[in-house]
C-alpha cells in the first residue's frame, strides 16, 4: 500500500527536480483572449510554477464567463489622388479602375500596376 505524500515532501521533490511553485496573491481577474472569444475567470487562484527559467501560470476558478468578440472594423483606407493618377498613367486605365486596383491591393502602387497590367 502506497503512503500519501505530504505537502512538505512534495515541495522537496519539486525543488530537487528544479521546479518552484508559489501562489500569486491578490489576483482579481484573469482574461484569456482568442481571435473569436474572451474567457474571464473572476477571483481565481493563480499559482506560478518556475521551471528552468520559464514560468507556467496555473489558473483555477469557479466563476468563469465566456463572451464572443465583435469583429473589429478596419479603418477605411485613404488613397491619395496622386497615387490614383500615377497608376492610371502607368497602365493607361481610367481613374476609377486605378482607384479600384489600389483599394484591392491596400494602397500598394506596384501591386496595383501589376494587377491592371495583367488584366490587359
pLDDT for 74-111, tens place per residue? 677 889 999 999 999 999 999 999 999 999 999 999 99
Query: Does domain 81-119 correspond to CATH entry 1.10.8?
Result: yes
- 101, 79 contact by CB (below 8 A): no
Report the percent of the chain where pLDDT is more than 90. Answer: 60
Note the pLDDT of residue 7: 81
7-68 CATH pick, 3.40.630.30, 3.40.50.1220, 3.40.50.1370, 2.20.70.30: 2.20.70.30
**Residue 37 near residue 69, CB atoms below 8 Å:** yes
pTM score, two decimals? 0.49
Q: What angle do CA 67, 29, 39 make, to 5 degrees?
A: 25
Amino acid at each position: 500500500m502506497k503512503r500519501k505524500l505530504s505537502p512538505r515532501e512534495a515541495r522537496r521533490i519539486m525543488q530537487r527536480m528544479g521546479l518552484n511553485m508559489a501562489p500569486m496573491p491578490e489576483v482579481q481577474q484573469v482574461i484569456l483572449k482568442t481571435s473569436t472569444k474572451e474567457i474571464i475567470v473572476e477571483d481565481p487562484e493563480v499559482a506560478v510554477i518556475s521551471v528552468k527559467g520559464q514560468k507556467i501560470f496555473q489558473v483555477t476558478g469557479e466563476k468563469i464567463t465566456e463572451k464572443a468578440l465583435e469583429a473589429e472594423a478596419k479603418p477605411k483606407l485613404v488613397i491619395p489622388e496622386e497615387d490614383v493618377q500615377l497608376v492610371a498613367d502607368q497602365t493607361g486605365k481610367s481613374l476609377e479602375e486605378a482607384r479600384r486596383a489600389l483599394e484591392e491591393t491596400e494602397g500598394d502602387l506596384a501591386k496595383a500596376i501589376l494587377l491592371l497590367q495583367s488584366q490587359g
